[in-house]
Chains A and B, each alone.
Chain A
Amino acid sequence: MKYTIKHTTTYSYSEPVNLCQNHARLTPISNQYQQCLTTEIVTSPTVDYLQSFIDYFGNRVSVFDIPTQHEVLQVTAISEVEIYNRQQINMLGWQMPWESVVQALANPITPQTLKAAEFTLVSAFTRYQAEMKDYALQSFTPNRAIVEACEDLMARIFSDFQYESGATTISTPLAEVFASKKGVCQDFAHFALACLRSIGLAGRYVSGYIETFPPEGQEKLEGADATHAWFALYVPDVGWVDFDPTNNVLPNDQHITLAVGRDFADVTPLKGIVFGGGMHQLAVAVDMKRHE
């Protein structure tokens, strides 16, 4: 399956900006589940410097400067991505009791587990408390198979939490999300990560896109698709297994991964430093086209 994704970010400033320097994580990652075939970043005004590098977590970061005075900045990333069907081959790994995974991560002896062990550590957006650990342990019962336990956790988050746009902002603490049981995909992913990490498992944050369909009888609107977020669990010998608690599914061919990290802070799609500018407003539009 191939998709073309157009992700447009628009900043409007109250005062002119003389110079801005940016880092964008807007190029979909390439891994065993997907391949980014082509990618392009277009800005208005145009850049005078554009380079990219691969960060610690494997994401491509575009670095660019905009030297022209402007009041509106538009950054558009257009990528073509091919998604492979996720074959659920290594059922043996899936059956591993979760406690033995915790054990392996606590004393990493292979480079892979050492890398994964980093994702057991608490991060700014995934601070957990005793209640979250209790919540996690209800799914992670003794000796339960790791993937099955995690599916259960995902299902419980899906049913216990209410999706409510605007109920939270990025700075809402996780404890508050847990108390109100309301939030958006980002909160659910962070909450699930806090649960996993509270019991010593490795979880990573995944930002990406999900294809949406217009209500029946209506035409799909340009820019109506959305940025999305979910989480992945580390399973030895298998690798990272994705879970989408917002939709209670194991992502397959409708989820496109943009970037991965310990939490949202590692995958911020666009960050920058501006000289001037005053107040700003932000608008994001995503458009996903399935190639027939």
Chain B
Amino acid sequence: MLEMPSWLASYLNGSHIHDEVEHHCGGDTTHWDVLFARLANLTEKDIHLRSNEIKRLLQDSGVTHTGAQSSWRLDPMPLMLSECDWQIIQDGVKQRTQLLIRTAQDIYGSQQLMLNGILDARAIQSSPLYIREKNSFAANANPIFIAAFDIYRDADGLFKVKSDHLQSPQGLGLLLENRIIARRVMGDEFAECNVQRIANFFGKFQQNINDLTTGLRDPRVVILSKGPDDPYYSEHAFLSSYMGYTLVNSADLTVRKGKVWLKSLKGLRKVDVIVRWLADNVLDSLEQTDYSIDGIPGLFQAIREGSVHIVNPVGCGILETPQVKSKLEQISQYFNRQSLILPEAQPSPLTAADLDNLLPNLADYQIGRFSQAEFMLDGESQAEKIMSLFDGLTSEQMADYYYLKKAKYSSAPFWDDHNLVAQPIVMRCFTLVSGNNIEVLPSALCFSATGIKSTPTAGWIKDTWIRSNTPQTSIRTLPKLTKEMSDLALLDGVIPSRTAENLYWLGRYLERGENTVRMLRVLIDRFTEFAIYPDSNNKAIVSRLVEAVVNQAVVFPYAEQNISQSETQSYIPREIASQLFADQEFSGSLINTLKALKNSALQVRELLSLDSWRIIDDINDEIRRIAKSPASASTRVMQATIDRIIGFLMAFNGSTSDSMANSNGWFMLDIGRRVERSTQIASVCQHLLGQSLSEIEQLSMLEAVLSTQVSLITHKRRYRMYQSTETGLELLILDGDYPRSLLYQVEQLAQLCKFLPDNSARGMLPAHAKLLLKMQTQCHLADRETLALATEGQRIELIELMQSVKVSLERFGDMLLLQYFSHTKTATPLNSMFGSIDKS
């Protein structure tokens, strides 16, 4: 035996009652020994570094970023399974998959299991997952396409099944991503241990999908997810870009004339296969009894017509219910005269007589309900809940409840930043079905299973390595993370309208964030300068800026407010700056803009490259920091934060601009950005330059305005001899060659709009193009002298032009929404339930 480093030795020498590294499979632990022999070279610091490296990679990949739930944490140490253990699991899940297929065919077919009393007819027929609508579908589809099983090793060393996942077998993307990361960080160990490869499984997945659509030219496959609210959304996004399928939620799909269509920017596109990550009973909000916002009205009719394949097929949910699960052993005997290779703990129906025996040992049991698969109370942590539940039960109600002795999961070592700690584990295994062939993924998603959701180790996961005695020659190798290179993603160039809309808003928020930061900078610069040079000129500028910010005239929502000098006196500039920085009640505040930015980025998650996504993650960190910062944060802290934020925003722009391909909708982002920037230029010019001031004040104000537009230096260079409001307006509004001028933005918009599908009649300008032409012409025809001319202190021409431009921009935005995104709105149910029986 090798000399082990202390971090490893202390675990191996610890007393673990039921641990994976110890004596299972007849005491043979050679599969661990190879790993330990490699790890023996690593110091505690090495393993710590690896653990941190994994954290970084996982975070970058975005899988941890689920918004809703606590994030995943991948352990540097894999779970090792011997070939002999694996053989049992593999045979077991194959047998189980086969049996589940047979059972589903029977439940939705000749119902022998119910007629022979093996399944309780009453229980099946009253389950919400017994899908009666399936009765009118063609029966030829295989009831299962992919299945997942949670497996543990019981105290007696036997592998058992904890649960089945068929409606949405989550975790596949997570497993794949774990493997990619584990291989990168633990590459040497991986090679040494001769681990079985998993790439073939994913190849097979795509192959099986292709087999469904044989004979179709250019079939379209979509992955249907609930959207960013789903805790597994990042995984769906990951799988979609890995497999090259479009990620959609139900609002992106519509059924017309018995076919399913993707609502895309270019119109409707037919969908041939839906890989769904949604439950059976919420799929069709027209046909199924319970109206669900996640449903696609008419989907079942499309299935009935055979125009779309859905995987997993509708109806497999019934197999997950306790009334079927608890009878699988009998079903196996009935169909095959075989015992289950992987048995499961048998639930016992609750009776009054059991109750007395149960109560003293409650901590060893779980309480479940036959009619609700998800219902589960833990006898230890939820004892009080159980007691109060039992109090109110009639013996009739009691029949719906069952009790289950808690399993004793085996444990495995996890690195907790200081030591290796033993955590109980469950393995999720996956199988694929095509025809009579069942493929088992030679790995598993291993996760810590404490049974209690809120423990700190919830979400701890491991890659599972299955040793092979034969050398691994995989034809397919795992590709690099596909998005490491670029923001491409939509391979077929069809972009859902919802995605296009989100890109548009992402563009607007990016630009809005930048504008807000620059406005904040100028404001802070000016009032800190005033503190040093308290002259009246400075004071006037500061109060004008403060006024414009308070009235939200120069920040979102760019209100039309008349500046009245008198009221400004009462504002404290530092407080206003802090409001613009962190006040969530202030609609145009930086924190609100960044939050909106993050949300729209999340909606187009699958389009973003790793690099871009990392920046969004950084911005998210800043949001949290700003939210926590005290209202009295020092200007220095504010400045440091906005410096970082502008850095991130610029980096994001750089990261996306490299990979923008207009064919997949990135031009929408640019349109959003230009619309926002134009609105901002017009607002700033109108509100800060609309009044004529004394010469010295005027120059100072012009300088402030030019700073917010990042044009101060250009202006100085270009108009070295004579700088005035005229020259400022010329640069900011009229110069069509200057990339930060209003006219330039409008001309860019006109160019970008050429990418939009044109629905107008031949030879006619579409309405949005007319608006752009109007703005272009107005800018071209204006001249700087007229704009700068003041009547009674007001630059009427300038104010009117800017107001008109803003109205046009707003209408332009509305028109885009109406013309290109309007079919993203949702439907409402209608039925004749009310008043249809008016007399009898």
Interchain CA distance A118-B111 in the complex, whole Å: 13
Q: Which residues of B contact A280 (CB under 8 A)?
A: 830
Contact B257 A49 (CB under 8 A): yes
Q: Which residues of B contact A109 (CB under 8 A)?
A: 115, 117
Which of the candidate stretches A80-88, A94-102, A174-182, A267-275 sits at the interface with the other chain?
Answer: A267-275
Can you name the residue of chain A whose Cβ is closest to the Cβ of B137? A53
Can you name the residue of chain A whose Cβ is closest to the Cβ of B833? A170
Which parts of A168-198 form the interface with B (CB within 8 Å)?
A: 169-170, 184-186
Interchain CA distance A9-B835 in the complex, whole Å: 11
Q: Which residues of A contact B287 (CB under 8 A)?
A: 23
Report if A79 contacts B (CB, 8 A). no
Q: Tell me, rounded to whole Å, the shortest Cβ–Cβ distance linking A52 to chain B.
A: 10
Interchain CA distance A124-B839 in the complex, whole Å: 22
Contact B121 A65 (CB under 8 A): no
Given contacts A108-B115, A111-B115, A273-B285, contact A21 B836 (CB under 8 A): no
Report if B418 contacts A (CB, 8 A). no
Report if B827 contacts A (CB, 8 A). yes
Report if A250 contacts B (CB, 8 A). no
Which parts of B121-139 form the interface with A (CB within 8 Å)?
A: 121-122, 125-126, 132-133, 135-136
Report if A4 contacts B (CB, 8 A). no
Report if A11 contacts B (CB, 8 A). yes
Q: Which residues of B contact A264 (CB under 8 A)?
A: 833
Q: Tell me, rounded to whole Å, the shortest Cβ–Cβ distance linking A206 to chain B.
A: 12
Q: Tell me, rounded to whole Å, the shortest Cβ–Cβ distance linking A184 to chain B.
A: 5
Q: Which residues of A contact B305 (CB under 8 A)?
A: 51
Q: Which residues of A contact B828 (CB under 8 A)?
A: 273-274, 277
Contact B115 A227 (CB under 8 A): no
Report if A41 contacts B (CB, 8 A). no
Interchain CA distance A11-B121 in the complex, whole Å: 40
The residue that A163 contacts in the complex, of B117, B255, B840, with Cβ under 8 A, is B840
The residue that A265 contacts in the complex, of B289, B297, B825, B834, with Cβ under 8 A, is B289
Report if B286 contacts A (CB, 8 A). yes
Report if B157 contacts A (CB, 8 A). no
Report if A282 contacts B (CB, 8 A). yes
Contact A229 B840 (CB under 8 A): yes
Interchain CA distance A184-B837 in the complex, whole Å: 9
Q: Tell me, rounded to whole Å, the shortest Cβ–Cβ distance linking A34 to chain B.
A: 19
Interchain CA distance A20-B827 in the complex, whole Å: 9
Q: Tell me, rounded to whole Å, the shortest Cβ–Cβ distance linking B370 to chain A.
A: 14
Binary interface encoding of chain B residues 811-840 relative to chain A, with 1 for a CB under 8 A from any of its CBs, else 0:
000000000000001011111111111111
Q: Tell me, rounded to whole Å, the shortest Cβ–Cβ distance linking B828 to chain A.
A: 6
Given contacts A23-B286, A121-B125, contact A11 B837 (CB under 8 A): no
The residue that B838 contacts in the complex, of A165, A246, A271, A277, with Cβ under 8 A, is A165
Q: Tell me, rounded to whole Å, the shortest Cβ–Cβ distance linking B831 to chain A.
A: 4
Number of interface residues of B (CB under 8 A): 40
Contact B114 A114 (CB under 8 A): yes
Contact A114 B121 (CB under 8 A): yes
Contact A56 B133 (CB under 8 A): yes
Interchain CA distance A86-B257 in the complex, whole Å: 41
Contact A273 B829 (CB under 8 A): yes
Contact A271 B286 (CB under 8 A): yes
Contact A117 B833 (CB under 8 A): no
Interchain CA distance A277-B831 in the complex, whole Å: 13
Q: Tell me, rounded to whole Å, the shortest Cβ–Cβ distance linking A215 to chain B.
A: 15
Report if B256 contacts A (CB, 8 A). yes
Report if A110 contacts B (CB, 8 A). yes
Given contacts A21-B255, A23-B286, A275-B825, contact A270 B832 (CB under 8 A): yes
Q: Which residues of A contact B117 (CB under 8 A)?
A: 107, 109
Report if A63 contacts B (CB, 8 A). yes
Q: Which residues of A contact B831 (CB under 8 A)?
A: 268, 270-272
Q: Which residues of B contact A22 (CB under 8 A)?
A: 286
Can you name the residue of chain B whose Cβ is closest to the Cβ of A11? B830
The residue that B114 contacts in the complex, of A108, A186, A229, with Cβ under 8 A, is A108
Contact A170 B136 (CB under 8 A): no
Report if A199 contacts B (CB, 8 A). no
Can you name the residue of chain A whose Cβ is closest to the Cβ of B829? A273
Q: Which residues of A contact B347 (CB under 8 A)?
A: none
Contact A271 B830 (CB under 8 A): yes
Q: Which residues of A contact B132 (CB under 8 A)?
A: 55-56
Given contacts A23-B286, A56-B132, contact A271 B832 (CB under 8 A): yes
Interchain CA distance A229-B285 in the complex, whole Å: 26
Can you name the residue of chain B whose Cβ is closest to the Cβ of A54? B136
Contact A246 B136 (CB under 8 A): no
Report if A48 contacts B (CB, 8 A). yes
Contact B834 A114 (CB under 8 A): no
Contact A21 B125 (CB under 8 A): no
Contact B122 A272 (CB under 8 A): no
Q: Which residues of B contact A117 (CB under 8 A)?
A: 121-122, 125
Contact B830 A53 (CB under 8 A): no
Contact B840 A121 (CB under 8 A): no
Report if B304 contacts A (CB, 8 A). yes
Q: Which residues of B contact A270 (CB under 8 A)?
A: 831-832, 836
Further 5 A-B residue pairs, CB within 8 A, beyond A63-B258, A122-B126: A49-B258, A121-B126, A227-B840, A273-B286, A273-B828
Q: Can you identify 20 A-B contacts, CB atoms within 8 angstroms?
A: A49-B256, A55-B133, A56-B133, A65-B256, A108-B114, A108-B121, A109-B115, A111-B115, A118-B125, A124-B289, A165-B839, A226-B840, A264-B833, A265-B289, A272-B830, A273-B297, A274-B827, A277-B830, A284-B835, A284-B836
- The 10 A-B pairs at the shortest CB distance, nearest first, are namely A185-B840, A271-B831, A56-B132, A273-B297, A49-B257, A270-B832, A56-B135, A226-B839, A273-B827, A272-B830
